Amino acid sequence: METIVTWIESITNIINVSLAVVILSLGLRILKSMRFSLQRGSVRLFIAAALLFAAKEVVASIERGMQAMWLHDIHEVLETGFICCLCYAMYLIVQSEKLEISNLHEQVSLDALTGLMNLRAFSKLGALRVKHARENGLPLALFMIDLDGFKQYNDTYGHEAGNAALKAVAAALRHSARENDLIARYGGEEFVLLLFTSPDAALSAAERVRRTIESECSPDGNLALYRSITASIGVARLEPSILSLTELIETADQQLYRAKHNGRNQASMANEDA
């Protein structure tokens, strides 16, 4: 009976070692296809676990023949290492999944060309900010920014040149905005900026943004540009009569039309002289 048990255990050891070799082979094969470092790390740990498992089974087989205490200790160490590798590999898989989800969320919320927030994300976050400002009596302003003569620029110099100009404007907006300001590409050559600022400072803040675009988006500062890029800005302050982000955007859009009508490359705000 003891011989049969020993024979079964030996067969089990051989099968387990074979499985470990298969896992090792598969791990080495898929390692190159892993995109994230966390994924590669988890595969390496699975490979290490397979090696430890195979070594553990070999030691267990030898231990039965020699009955040596030191082999038993080695077997225990290998088993502990095997379990640790598996546990940490599972942890890396979970972290990799979180990273993947985070990247997907980022792709959904960012404009692919400029890296700014897209309209969908802005509409969601902007509506929450308007609601927060109304409930707490905080001063809020929205800038609707439109590039002057961009269609002509695009038609004259080409689509790629137009894309380079949009990227340059996006960079200028980042430089002129504060950390908590919401900046987004509204669509085409239009951008939007939502910020907490006092009513008296809203127009001067818009002028600062306009000057930053004018100074940074020129061939002198950016070799990718064929001529200077300027922008017209419509400014809307959150008044008690404005109940939503949509209404705030509509008010800013009206002032943008006024800035265009008055000669472009300027900022306009309702009651700015009051």
Give the pLDDT score at 166: 97
Single pTM value for the model: 0.64
In sequence order, which residues have a C-beta less than 8 Å from that of residue 238 and are 6 or more positions away? 130, 133, 134, 139, 140, 141, 142, 248
Domain hosting residue 26, numbered range: 2-108
CA dist list (Å): 169 to 25, 116, 137, 165, 220: 51, 11, 32, 6, 14
246 in the same domain as 142: yes
263 in the same domain as 145: yes
Whether residue 229 contacts residue 151, with contact meaning beta carbons closer than 8 Å, is answered with no
> Catalytic annotation on 189?
yes
Give the chain's length.
Answer: 274
The number of distinct structural domains making up the chain is 2
Domain boundary among 54, 84, 108: 108
- Does residue 79 lie within any of the structural domains? yes
- Does residue 206 lie within any of the structural domains? yes
CA dist list (Å): 117 to 121, 250, 252, 272: 6, 19, 19, 29
- Does residue 212 lie within any of the structural domains? yes
254 in the same domain as 130: yes
Give the pLDDT score at 199: 86
123 in the same domain as 102: no
pLDDT tens string for the chain (274 positions)?
555 545 555 566 566 556 556 655 655 565 566 555 656 666 666 667 666 666 666 666 666 556 655 565 665 666 776 666 666 666 666 666 565 555 545 556 889 899 999 999 999 999 999 999 999 999 999 999 999 999 999 999 999 999 999 999 999 999 999 989 999 999 999 999 999 999 889 999 999 999 999 999 999 989 899 999 999 999 999 999 999 999 999 999 999 999 999 999 999 998 754 3
Show the DSSP H helices in 110-149 as ranges: 119-136
Query: Strand 140-147's sheet: what is its strand order?
Result: 182-187, 190-196, 140-147, 231-237, 267-269
Roughly what angle, to the nearest 10 degrees, separates helices 150-157 and 159-176?
140
- Does residue 274 lie within any of the structural domains? no
- Does residue 114 lie within any of the structural domains? no
- Does residue 236 lie within any of the structural domains? yes
Whether residue 233 contacts residue 145, with contact meaning beta carbons closer than 8 Å, is answered with yes
Give the pLDDT score at 78: 67
Whether residue 139 contacts residue 133, with contact meaning beta carbons closer than 8 Å, is answered with yes
Domain boundary among 108, 128, 157: 108
165 in the same domain as 264: yes
Give the pLDDT score at 233: 98
Catalytic pick from 106, 189, 207, 272?
Answer: 189
96 in the same domain as 169: no
259 in the same domain as 157: yes
CATH number, domain with residue 219:
3.30.70.270
Domain boundary among 108, 128, 162: 108
Give the pLDDT score at 264: 95
140 in the same domain as 49: no
- Does residue 113 lie within any of the structural domains? no
